[in-house]
Each structure stands twice: as structure tokens, then as C-alpha cells.
Structure 1
Amino acid sequence: MTSTIASPVATQANPLAGAILDTLIHRIGKDAQAARPHDWLAATILTMRDDIIDRWMASTKAAHAAGAKRVYYLSLEFLIGRLLRDAIANLGRTPEVAAALASLDVDLAEIEEIEPDAALGNGGLGRLAACFMESLASLDLPAYGYGIRYVNGMFRQRIDDGWQVELPETWLTHGNPWEFERRESAYFIGFGGEVIGTEDGAVHWKPAEAVEAVAVDTPVVGWRGKRVNTLRLWTARAFDPIHLDAFNAGDYSRALAGQLKAETLVRVLYPADSNPAGQELRLRQEYFFSSASIQDIVRRHIQYFGDIRTLPDKAAIQLNDTHPAVSVAELMRLLMDHHDVGFDEAWKITQGTFGYTNHTLLPEALESWPLPLFERLLPRHMQLVYQINARLLREARKSGTDDRAIAAISLIDEGGERRVRMANLAFAGSHSVNGVAALHTDLMKQTVFADLHRQFPGRINNKTNGITPRRWLQECNPGLTALIREAIGPAFLDDTNRLADLLPFAEDAAYGERFAAVKRSNKVALAQHLRDVTGVRIDPDAMFDVQIKRIHEYKRQLLNIIETVALYDQIRRHPERDWTPRVKLFAGKAAGSYHNAKLIIKLANDVARRINADPSVGPLLKVAFVPNYNVSLAEKIIPAADLSEQISTAGMEASGTGNMKFALNGALTIGTLDGANVEIRDHVGADNIVIFGMTADEVAAKRAEGYVPRAVIEGSPELRQAVDAIRNGVFSPDDPARYAGLMDGLYDHDWFMVAADFDAYASAQREVDARWSDRAGWNGCVIRNVAQMGWFSSDRTISEYARDIWGVM
């Protein structure tokens, strides 16, 4: 980018260039000669924003005029990534913007790269919410997303000597040109205090403390700009930002304590809840955003429709996992305490309004709160939980439910420390409860919600997740998009099911070679990025074998690393064999308090350091852990991947969406029959995916029968060699005992079935090698994957929600 003064002739010939330059001068306060890349980025966003605002206002007015029912999507995460590329692509203005900037000597791709990722999420839950918001707008459905405007997100990950280091995300340091503060949409959020009864039987909650929730709105642009919806995020303020008497007395900490407490609510995503203070902050956050959102929804409904009793007819509230489950009690509180609705009618309204999406079968992720904490912070809500629970249990008892099932259904866990079960509250308070993949939904009925399912047999349904093809094909992989368009025309841009028209080209060897050339170009770009970021040199002609996702033991990055160690040993022992060159890529964040997950990151880096420095394996095997995984990094890695690792312990991954993104971009999946892998296999065909390992039923049976992992490890020479090498410090000479505990865990219990599935996984990897050696066959296979991925669009998922749950289509 050069810093020349823009030509008046150029700006006159290109009105958009003139508009960008005018914005630069009059809103940024720079001329073209002084402007830096971040100035051009801001000027471009603000200029394009004007078009978006016009569409945004038109969308809102049309919904109001039509009296349309709105969808409200409550999520603790929205992993929206960068917005400029997404917005102008959905408006169909990318070539126009690129040309306008080029006339000003500015490269659009260069300024897109410096836009910070919004630090509003961490993993699949947040990215799904972002895909859903984009699809809601693309399908012209009026909707609001509700969440928290995190100042520092979860954390920015740095790798120091192989260890994860958590640093604050600073995405808001220089402001956010996409957001609009709505100071008129501000709400009182109380905590603690007491509930006081009146003579007429009414109750009044008097909180001991309060903060103000203030709305900050971001426009969400749908495909072809047909609708612009709203992502409304809440920030917190103290009602008295400074106590002047304390300040003047020199007690500055007490003077600012209220503001600090408010700011803490919106500072960090997922504060560690391994200690009482962290648990309290997490519950405060969840109530803060839930209460503000429900108050806003009720206020809007009263404003436009008058009668609170029609709320289910005009509002569909979807709870994205258990984090916003306290919304059920909050709506009951508002209906009963502020709108004089009786309990029975309030409960009917509440159930008619809410839907609940479950994303996990892991007990620790089905949130529950110590009863004393919940009652201290939310005393009125505790009363309502007891009242709801009494109704629930009486109905269950009338239907003949036994004591064991009564205990499982109850909103209060009475085993040991008494706790409020948020998943049960969400289930009871919703008319629809959905899983996010066929297998996950079936397991919900059989495991965590078995007794609630028997009590409410029609309530659980399936809505398999999807991804937006705009971001995850058209924007992140323009080369592949152009190649597909050349083959089958542009219809797939509006209807991803038309990707099936690509199927005949899987048999066309020449087209397969062109497909491979696009893939290689993406790999060259990624190789350069990795060299810049990690210093590792990788060969773009090697197979890029990729596992990028949140680091968790059930996702089994450890299985991948151990097999990498075994492969390393085999290559050294048998250099005469025709090995497939591989680049093993890992990325993902571990929760700050999750010891084993952080240790797995360190192990991946230790293994990488040893293998990458060993000339005996040369170009045959490289390993890299890429730091600070986020949406923008995924947009670089996924189009370059050859092999997609989806290897979670069967029965533990709800769905996955990374598996869909990889397949859509022409990667072969190696995975277990878990989550949406089952449906991907059904769509792409068993010959176009590599499935290994135990099924969910087999995992459950093995645990029940008394699985002995030590015998399995000792019976597998390759596995034992790899585990013992790691355990004995081969990859950690500076601390030989570093991984002893991690490896002993495999010998002693192996809950996640790493040892049990190892031989099957290793065998599947050798099958992948054989497939790679047949390049024409490989190309045909991955083209079939792309062609059959249309069903996994989030447009299909949202259409199902809209028809079956929300009643808006």
C-alpha cells in the first residue's frame, strides 16, 4: 500500500472511492497521504455501514408494520469473527469495494486482515450462534441475537516454550465501528437482597445491589442484503460510577468499587468456576444478560402488541444451551410480579415462548449451582424454582413416576450438596427441547433427559447443526467457489443443495486435477502464514492433516498425538517403506483451569520440537501447533486441509460443525461415529469418509463391563511404545516426569477410550495413506464430499427451527 494523494479524477470516476475518501477526511480526520491501513479500514467500514444502516432500518420497519413474530436467540457466545468481508460479500459489493480502494492505492485484502476478530466466543457453540444469526437474516426472518459485549473475551493464546499463556484480548482498544450504543435500552439488574410479601399476597423483591445493562447493537447482514437483523450485546454500568464522599476521603478503592464490580460482569467470557468467587461471577453474568434480554423482549412486546398474554404468538425465545436457562425463572418473575399474571397462566406463557437447545451430554457442562449461592444472589428466582418444581413433581407423581425418576426430574439435585439444575429448568420451561445431531438427540432421550423424556414424550426433537456457506465456502475459499461456479453455474450460491450438481465431476480426472490445484494454492498460502507465525517450514505437497478445535480430553487430541509418536517411530524403524509425507496441524485453546488440556498443548509442542528437528524423518513428518485459534485462523486453515480429524469419543460430541466446514472445502474426514459424523457419512457415502473405532453403544458397554486399559496397552506394541516414550521423558528431557501422570491415566482408567480406539485409529490412518497415493481417487472422493454437503447449510437448520419450533415459516 502506497501513501499517495488520491487523484480527483479517480474519485470522480468512482463514486464509492470518493465516498470512502470523504469518510476518511471528515470522519477519521486523515487525508490520503497521512492515512495508515487502520484508517482506511475504518473509513471503508463506516462508508459501507451507511448502506447497511438503510437496510437495517427498512428491515425493522417492515417487521413492525407486518406485526411479525420475532425470533430471539439467547447465547453466552457469538463467535462472529471479522465483519467487513462478510458484510460486503453478502451485499454483493466485494468487487466494487475492491475496485474503489484500488483506485485509492489501497488493497482490500490487506485492510481486511487487520480487522480484529470480535472476542465474543470460544468454540463451536459461539460459531454456531453466529452462523444462525446470518442464516436468519438470509432467510428474511426477523430476529435478535442477545449476548454479552465482552471487553476481553476468553483470552488471547500465546505459546511460550510450548505452554499456553493466557493474555487479555484487546479487540475493543481502538473502538468498534460496527456497534451502536442504545442508551434508551437500559435495564435495572438486581442481585441479592430479600423478598417482601404484602398484605394482598403479592411479593416484592428488594435487591441489595444493582447494575445497569445497556444495549449495544451490531447489524447482521443477510445474503444479498435482503434483511439486516440485530445482534444486541449488553454492557454493564454502575448506577453510581463514583462515590464522591469516599473519593474525597481518600478511599479511592471504595469510591470506584461499584463501577469495578459492574465492569467485571462483562470483562471475560467463562471466568474459571473452580472456586466460589468464579462460580458467583459466572452466575451473575448469566443472570445479567438473561434478565436484560427478557426485560427487553417484554418491553418490545408491550410496546407493539400491548397484551403480555400474547407473548408466545409474537416472540420465540431460543436458549442456546443451559447458560441462559435462568431466563425461564426471570420471565416468570416479570409476568407474575410486574404484570399481575397468575402462576398457572404465567407458566403456560413461559412454556409457549421458550425453546431449549442442548449441546452436551457431559454432566459437568449441564450447569448446576449450589443452592445457597443461587438463593443468596437470586432470592425471588429461588422461590419460583421451588414453585415450578412443586408443580413438576406433583404432575410426575400423578402419572405414576417412581422415587428414582422423581429425583432425576427434580430441578433440585438432592444428592450431596444441594444444587439447582439449570438444564432441568430449561427443559421444564420450554415447549421444545432439541438436540443438534441425530445421534446426540437419541442419546439425550436415553441418558441425561431419560426421565424428563418419559414425562414429556413429545418434547425432544432433533435439529442437526449447519454452517453458513457464505462465510465457510464463498468467502474463505474464493478459488474453490469460482471452480464450482464454472462447472455448475451460480445457482448453488443461493441454494447449497445445488452443490449436488457437482457429483458427475468427481469422475472427471481433469476437473479433479484443477480441484487439487486450488487446494494446493490454499496450502501454499497457509504454509507461508505458518512460517511467519511459528517458524515451521512445511511442504505444500505433503498431506495437511488437521485437528483444530477446543482442547478437551473427549475431543481426543491426545489420541492424535500418540499416533503421531507411533508413526514417527515407524518411519525411523522402516525408512525403506513408501511413507506418505504428512503435516500434522493442531490449534485450539484450553480453559485456563483445565490442567490436562493445557498439558496436552505442551505435549503437542514438545512432540513437534523433537520431530521437526530430526533429520531421520526429514520431509515425511512435520508437526505444528498454531497459536490463538479463532475464526480468522480457521478461515485460513480449513480451505487448505486435506484430512479432517473428527475423532471424539463416540457418544460425547453433540454435533460438531468443524466437520462440516472441512468437508465443504474438500477435505476427507477421519472420524468416529459421533455427532454429525453419522449424518455426514450418510450423505457423502461410506466410501467417501474414513470411520474407525467404537460406537457410542460399544463405548457404554465397555465402560459397564469393566474396561481394563492396561491390558489393551500392553497388547498393542505400537501403542505401548508410544505411551512409554512419552511417559519416560523422551519428548520432555528437561522434565522427564512431565507426562507421567497423563500417561498413567491411560493405564489406570482411560475414560475417553484413547487406548481402546488406538489400533483402529492407526489402521484407519494407514488407509488414508493408501487413498492419498491414488490421487485421482482422492480427488474424486473429496469432490463428492463437497457435492453432498448442501444439506449441512445453516439455512436448512434454521428453516427447521422456524417451521417446527418457532412457528415463523
Structure 2
Amino acid sequence: MVPDTCSAAPDCTALADAILDTLVHRIGKDAQAALPHDWLAATIFTVRNDIIERWMVSSKAAHAAGAKKVYYLSLEFLIGRLLRDALGNLQRSDEVKAALAVHGVDLAELEEIEPDAALGNGGLGRLAACFMESLASLQLPAYGYGIRYMNGMFRQRIENGWQVELPENWLVHGNPWEFERRESAYFVGFGGEVVGHDDGTIHWKPAEAVEAIAVDTPVVGWRGKRVNTLRLWTARAFDPIRLDRFNAGDFSGALAGQIGAETLVRVLYPNDSTAAGQELRLRQEYFFSSASIQDIVRRHVQYFGDIKTLADKAAIQLNDTHPAVSVAELMRVLVDYHDLNFDEAWDIAKRTFGYTNHTLLPEALESWPLPLFEWLLPRHMQIVYAINAKLLREARAVEGIDDRAIAAISLIDEGGERRVRMANLAFVGSHSVNGVAALHTDLMKRTVFADLHTLYPTRINNKTNGITPRRWLQECNPGLTALIREAIGDAFLDDAEKLADLAPFAEDSWFREKFAAVKRANKAALADYIKTTLGLRIDPTAMFDVQIKRIHEYKRQLLGIIETVALYDQIRGHPERDWTPRVKLFAGKAASSYANAKLIIKLANDVARRINSDPSVGGLLKIAFLPNYNVSLAEKIVPAADLSEQISTAGMEASGTGNMKFALNGALTIGTLDGANIEIMERVGPENIVIFGMTADEVAAKRAAGYDPRATIEASGALNQALSAIASGVFSPDDPTRYKDLMNGLYDHDWFMVAADFDAYVAAQREVDTRWADTPGWEAAAVRNVARVGWFSSDRTIREYATDIWGVL
């Protein structure tokens, strides 16, 4: 007899029958033979029916209203697992849980085996995913455009402490969420030549081409009121197999076209340290940009007829510089296929595009060797030159723009190897250019875009990043969500800024106890995961000190590791002191060509191996590097964190969104005055955050003054000792010189100010220890963080974009 699990969910019995019917007729299994992945697919297909109906209603309503649409172009969409997200937003989690229980199936177990979509790497892609969810939640018609990567970036495995990159085969068993749209297929060309005709028209004759095929995924908004579309492009050769070559015995050559097409969508961020890698990266960016622009223009003409009204009905947002070639592509389509003159097309393009900048790092402000760009995209090179001529003539007419400024403004970098500057193209081709935190936006005006800002003084604006509270509170931390509902009701579920009503509960000992119990449960769950994954036992009552993000020198994981080594020395040298038990948790991927970042991962694991096996620290310090960081792993770590490490070199992190996720889940931040840390401090109050180190202006001044890191290191006994231990092979006895160059680099050229900020960081960590010892004070500060960061909801961010940039609210 199957237990009656449906008594609390009236539609549960019908749903249980529907899932079983899908299992039998769609999956081809009966209940007795079905395995968990069969039940997962049957559940998704069943729930998907409801989503499809809402999707169609949403699309028809937008068309009927003649609504202006938002088109969000991003090379990454780190959407994570979708079943829990969809059920939460549809508010059907309890119903589906009960229906599956009828068949003896646990929904939570199914959610855990759903693969993460390998469509992104870090904050850029996760921001895009949060924005898509908020666009649907705010009932704004929108499409996201990207690439349907077959293998994503890579699946990270740690072998003997080293990062090993393996294919992320997330599509190996298909994807029940996606729908191929054969009717939305576009010709995307490369190379060839540009031919002029007697009538003045120009025709680009590509030497090769692929077909871009649309694959759509529904994006469900909060309470299911709107479902938008994430449209990803896959590539196919027009002749998948050349039978003449195959029959001649050239089997590899016969498939070369299809292999080339699949290469475009195989991997996110191919290693671009080689000429071939650079070419593939540019091909990828043009491939998805061209297909997206063609699709947007086709849709506009289909529904509105007149191409000249494009800017009134379409808002295209470029998420960083990767889709910047879209500016030239739209110009090509408007001029070559819709017969607009250049000036008219340029006006339409500028009014249509917005550009979000995510970095001040010169290497991330993409530029391409001019010969490569011209060879691969000859017509676009002509358009870039034409835009540049118009730009520089306009700049020459502005007082105060001299030859130096002209060189900085130009779309062509003439210094050394001539390169096409994609960030400049995105800037001049957009009516709005926004930063993603107040400091970042200010630095954009003063540094990388200073001269363009002089030319267009009203174009740069700020839109501080946000995160969706549905995934990053309600879904990943149901215990805390339930406690907040008990305390202040449900209003915060629809408006995250209503979390402010929680602030008085920071003084309520009953609430703090409940709050602490939720945190302990989350930590215990993470401890179990770490035991299962790494075989490492950690104490859930210790402070969980967490730094999870892309591994990069400016994010300064190295600073955290070196301080850990110094702390290890202090604990061993002074066992009589009352040390705070800590678990240092690291996670993140290093780009495959980034040698120093990969070495930092190895160092973290070497230090962990030594410290975790040393009985002299008495369990007071443990370290774990968790492999294959992704959205699902973040959903386990974030609710369990006590301390959030946001310690980037000031002035180098555009915003950060991990800082927001941790604060929303009751972790205190230790960080520099960088990115959105500044605004978090303003919201939560300086007494509820731990700030250390130099400001962005102080970093710039120190560099300009000729900073001598060697003198700084030698003046700090703890730092000097830690660096010497690492460099001498204490943590790498199998290769004593492994970290010698990495440590010597700090003595010779400490660009990221690891040594300069070290003593301040150590002092801040000891302040953290003091605060941790005051349990009621720590818990109160954690509650205040939750209560005061509702403003960092991506709903607020999207409202600002919609009002100030897109004109859709």
C-alpha cells in the first residue's frame, strides 16, 4: 500500500498520475524498472507542460501589445540546475514533492542529479542568469542570446593538488529543457572578399559559412507570471559530410565542415594564447553575435515592418565586450540588406545598443590583431574604419581633445601591433555605457574610458549589480527563508527590500538562536558533503571562512593562503592562546592558460595537505579546496558560510555578486573597499562588515610612487616568514622549488598589492576572531546583513536598466 502523501496537496494525485504516464509513454520505463534519471526526466517533461503554456501566453501577449523587447547578448549564462528553480518560481515544489513520494521517489535526490548547464564560468554568466530571471519576474518581454556550448569551459578535477581540465559533458544524455527551432536558422559567414557593384551596393562573399540553429530554453519568472526565452545558438555545416571525399577514402576530410562547425560551440573560452585560439575566440563571438542580430532584425521586420523603428521596439544590451562585434554586424545588416545610408543606420544602432562594462583590466577589454579581424571579417573591417572616421572627425571638433586623446579614442590601436579595440567600438556604438558598481563606474570615467567620457560626458552611468533572491535565498536556504517568513511575513518574497523589516530581530535573542540553528544545520550539511567528496572531517562549530570565485591574481586567493600559513605558524608557536577554530574553504577554476592561477590552486592544496595532517594545531585550522566550482556547489557553500572573503586589490573588481549572496545568507564580509563592497558597507553599516587595506586611489598612488615590495616584506616578520616557508619548499617537499618564482614575484613586482595589504589583512582577521568570540554580537551582525542587503536584488537592478536605458518601464 502506497502511503497517502497527497492529503496536503489537492492536485497531487493527478500530478502523480501524469508523471507516471510520462515515465511510461515518453521515457519508456515502468515504475519498477525506472532509475533516478528516468524519474528526473519524467518530472521535468511533466512540469514543462505547464511552463510551455505560460510561455506561449507570454509571447502572444507581448506581440499583441506591440511591446518593446529587451535582447540580452552574453557569451555566458550560468543558469545552473533548472528544476528546483522552475518549481520554486511556479510555487509547485510541495505539490511535486508529494506526487513523487506517491511513487517512493525523493524530489531532493532528483534535483541533485540534474546536471549544471555548462554555459558559463563566473560572475559574468551568473549575473546574466540572474538578470534573465528578474526580467521574467518583472514581466518584461526579453530574450537572452548566447552559445549552446557542448562542453562549456571544463570540468575541474584535482589530482595531486593540480587542476586537471576535463570535458563537461552536460549534454551527453540530452537536455529536456530545450527546444530546437529549425525555422530560426541563419547563414553566418567568415573570410572571403567584399565586392562593390556599379549601383553602389556592396556584397560580402564569405569563403566559408556555417548555419546557426536556435535552441530555446524557457526562463520562468517569480510566481510563473511570465516565461521568457533564453535562445542559444548551435552550429551546423551546410554539408555535414562530403560524400565525394568520403568515397575517395578521405574520411576525415569528408567531415571537416561539420567538425569546424562543432568547434565553434564546443568549448567556452578556448585557450587564446595561440593564434589559432585567438581566431576561434573571434569566430565564436561573431558567430553568436551575427545569428542574434539577424534574429532580432528578422523578428522586428516580421512584427513591425519598418526597419527604421528598430530602436523603438528593441533594446539590445551587450554584456561586456564579447558581443561588441554586434555593432558592426547590425550596421552591415542595415546598410547592405535594408538599404539604409550609413548615417541613418548609425543613428539607429546607437539608439538600439547599450553596453555594460565589467572590467578595468586592459587584457579583458578585448582587442583583435587587425590582420586577423580583416581576414576573418572583411566587411566588418570596412565598417569599423567608417565608424572610426566619423568618430575621429567628431572628436577633432571638440575643444580639449588633443592627439593623445585621439589615439586613445580611436577604434584602432596604432601603438605597436595594430589592433581593433572592441570596448571602444561598444562604447561609441551605444547610447548608454554602464558600470556595475559605483566605484567601478567612477573609475571607468577616470581611467580606461576617460577620453571617451570627455567626448560623450553623459553616456556613462552606474547600475550596481544584483542577485535574484529566489535562487540565492529562497531556494538555496529554505531554512532561513522559513524563519524570516515566521518573523516578518511573506512580503519579502515579492520585494526583497522588505527584508528591512527583519532588522529589529537582530536584538531578539529568541530569533538569533533560531537563526544560529539554521546556520549550524547548513554547515553540518556542507561538512557532510566535504567528508564525502574529500574525505576530510571538519567541525561544523568552527568558523567557516570562505573564498569561492574564479582564480585570478587580482582576486587575491594568494593573500588568503599566505595569511593561512602565517596563522598556522602562530598557532604552533603560541598554543596557549585562545585561537578561533577555522575552516578555510576555497573553490574556483583557473583559466587553462593561466599558469600562476593554476599554481595558486596547487599551493592551496599543498598547504591544506600539510596543515590538515598536523596534530599540533589540534583541529583549530582546516583547509579544503572544493573541486569543480559551479552554481550547484555555490548553493551548498553560500548558506553555510560565516565569513565571506572579498579581498580583491582595490580598484580591480568591477562589482562582485558573491559578496551579495553571502551577506544575504548571513555571512559577515571581510573585504577591501572595492567593487560593490563599498555599497554593501554603506547598506549594512561599517560595524557589520570588516574592511581593511588600501583604497583604489591609494593603490594607484603607491604604484605611481614606485612601490618597493621588498622593503614592505622585510618589515613584516609574519609575512617574511610565511613567504620564506613557502618558497623553501616546506609545503612542497616533493618539489622544493615549486613556489620559488611565485614568491619571488612578490618581492620584485607586487602589482596586486598582496604584500602591501598583508599586515592590514592579518589585523582584520584578528578583529574577526574577536567578533566571533562575542557570539550574540556576531549573530546580531549576521541578521543585520540579511536585513539590509535586499537592495542588491537583481529586480532592483533590472528596474534601473528598464527605466534608464531600455525605456521599457
Decide: shared fold, TM above 0.5.
yes
SS of 1:117's equivalent? coil
SS of 1:233's equivalent? strand
Deviation at 1:513, TM superposition (A): 1.3
Query: Does the CA contact (< 8 Å) of 2:2 and 2:102 recur in 1?
Result: no
Distance 2:515 2:361 in 1: 40
Is 1:580 aligned with 2:580? yes
Query: Does the CA contact (< 8 Å) of 2:68 and 2:808 recur in 1?
Result: yes
Deviations 1:206-232 (A, max 9, x none): 000000000000000000000000000
Cα 1:12/1:453, change in 2 over 3 Å: closer
Query: Does the CA contact (< 8 Å) of 1:6 and 1:104 recur in 2?
Result: no
Deviation at 1:274, TM superposition (A): 0.3
Distance 1:64 1:58 in 2: 10
Deviation at 1:7, TM superposition (A): 10
Cα 1:615/1:9, change in 2 over 3 Å: closer
Aligned position for 2:22: 23
Aligned position for 2:546: 546
Aligned position for 1:793: 793
Percent of aligned pairs with the same amino acid: 82
Aligned position for 2:689: 689
Deviation at 1:13, TM superposition (A): 7.0
SS of 1:619's equivalent? coil
Distance 2:16 2:23 in 1: 10
SS of 1:616's equivalent? helix
SS of 1:795's equivalent? helix
Deviation at 1:509, TM superposition (A): 1.6
Letter in 2 for 1:48: V
Q: When the two structures are superposed, what TM-score results if normalisation uses the length of structure 1? A: 0.99
Aligned position for 2:497: 497
Deviations 1:16-59 (A, max 9, x none): 00000000000000000000000000000000000000000000
Deviation at 1:619, TM superposition (A): 1.3
Distance 2:796 2:114 in 1: 30
Deviations 1:505-556 (A, max 9, x none): 0011221111011000000000000011111110000000000000000000
- The residue correspondences of 1:600-611 to structure 2 (distance < 5 A) are 600-611=600-611
Aligned position for 2:381: 382
Distance 2:14 2:82 in 1: 23
SS of 1:472's equivalent? helix
Deviation at 1:104, TM superposition (A): 1.1
Distance 1:6 1:195 in 2: 71
Letter in 1 for 2:750: D
Letter in 1 for 2:619: P
Deviation at 1:202, TM superposition (A): 1.1
Deviations 1:293-320 (A, max 9, x none): 0000000000000000000000000000
Deviation at 1:6, TM superposition (A): 10
Aligned position for 1:373: 372
Deviations 1:43-98 (A, max 9, x none): 00000000000000000000000000000000000000000000010001011010
Aligned position for 2:49: 50
Letter in 2 for 1:638: V
Alpha-carbon RMSD across the aligned residues, in angstroms, is: 1.2
Letter in 2 for 1:218: T
Distance 1:577 1:671 in 2: 26
Query: Does the CA contact (< 8 Å) of 2:5 and 2:102 recur in 1?
Result: no
Aligned position for 1:175: 174
Aligned position for 1:199: 198
Aligned position for 2:132: 133
Distance 1:768 1:572 in 2: 20
Aligned position for 2:350: 351
SS of 1:157's equivalent? strand
Is 1:92 aligned with 2:84? no
Deviations 1:597-643 (A, max 9, x none): 00000000000000000000021000000000000000000000000
Query: Does the CA contact (< 8 Å) of 1:6 and 1:32 recur in 2?
Result: no
Letter in 1 for 2:223: R
Deviation at 1:352, TM superposition (A): 0.4
Letter in 1 for 2:771: R
Deviation at 1:461, TM superposition (A): 0.1
Cα 1:108/1:13, change in 2 over 3 Å: closer
Aligned position for 1:537: 537
Deviation at 1:653, TM superposition (A): 0.1
Distance 2:638 2:96 in 1: 26
SS of 1:281's equivalent? helix
Is 1:213 aligned with 2:222? no
Aligned position for 2:339: 340
Cα 1:6/1:212, change in 2 over 3 Å: farther
Deviations 1:474-504 (A, max 9, x none): 0000000000010000100001111000000
Aligned position for 1:300: 299
Distance 1:276 1:364 in 2: 16
Aligned position for 1:147: 146
- The residue correspondences of 1:237-636 to structure 2 (distance < 5 A) are 237-400=236-399, 401-636=401-636
Letter in 1 for 2:503: L
Letter in 1 for 2:355: Y
Distance 2:379 2:511 in 1: 65
Deviation at 1:9, TM superposition (A): 11
Aligned position for 1:651: 651
Letter in 2 for 1:677: N
Q: When the two structures are superposed, what TM-score results if normalisation uses the length of structure 2? A: 0.99
Letter in 2 for 1:184: E
Query: Does the CA contact (< 8 Å) of 1:74 and 1:147 recur in 2?
Result: yes
Deviations 1:275-299 (A, max 9, x none): 0000000000000000000000000
Distance 2:157 2:534 in 1: 11
Aligned position for 1:735: 735
Letter in 2 for 1:297: I
Query: Does the CA contact (< 8 Å) of 2:80 and 2:116 recur in 1?
Result: yes
Letter in 1 for 2:222: W
Distance 1:731 1:626 in 2: 19
Distance 1:618 1:194 in 2: 71
Query: Does the CA contact (< 8 Å) of 1:72 and 1:146 recur in 2?
Result: yes
Deviations 1:692-741 (A, max 9, x none): 00000000000000000000000000000000000000000000000000
Cα 1:5/1:173, change in 2 over 3 Å: farther
Aligned position for 2:123: 124
Letter in 1 for 2:769: D
Distance 1:405 1:640 in 2: 50
Letter in 1 for 2:23: L
Distance 1:496 1:115 in 2: 28
Cα 1:749/1:9, change in 2 over 3 Å: closer
SS of 1:514's equivalent? helix
Cα 1:770/1:36, change in 2 over 3 Å: same
Aligned position for 1:162: 161
Query: Does the CA contact (< 8 Å) of 2:12 and 2:98 recur in 1?
Result: no
Distance 1:805 1:304 in 2: 23
Distance 1:207 1:498 in 2: 55
Deviation at 1:663, TM superposition (A): 0.2
Deviation at 1:141, TM superposition (A): 0.0
Deviations 1:722-771 (A, max 9, x none): 00000000000000000000000000010000000000000000000000
Deviation at 1:399, TM superposition (A): 1.1
Query: Does the CA contact (< 8 Å) of 2:643 and 2:669 recur in 1?
Result: yes
Aligned position for 2:104: 105
Q: Specify every segment of 5 or more residues in structure 1 that has no aligned partner in the other structure, as ranges.
A: none
Deviation at 1:425, TM superposition (A): 0.1
Letter in 1 for 2:247: N
Distance 1:649 1:162 in 2: 26
Cα 1:569/1:53, change in 2 over 3 Å: same
Query: Does the CA contact (< 8 Å) of 2:70 and 2:806 recur in 1?
Result: yes
Query: Does the CA contact (< 8 Å) of 1:12 and 1:18 recur in 2?
Result: no
Distance 2:396 2:49 in 1: 59
Distance 2:133 2:496 in 1: 15
After TM superposition, where is structure 1 displaced by more than 3 Å over at least 4 residues in a row?
A: 4-13
Query: Does the CA contact (< 8 Å) of 1:5 and 1:33 recur in 2?
Result: no
Aligned position for 1:702: 702
Query: Does the CA contact (< 8 Å) of 1:5 and 1:32 recur in 2?
Result: no
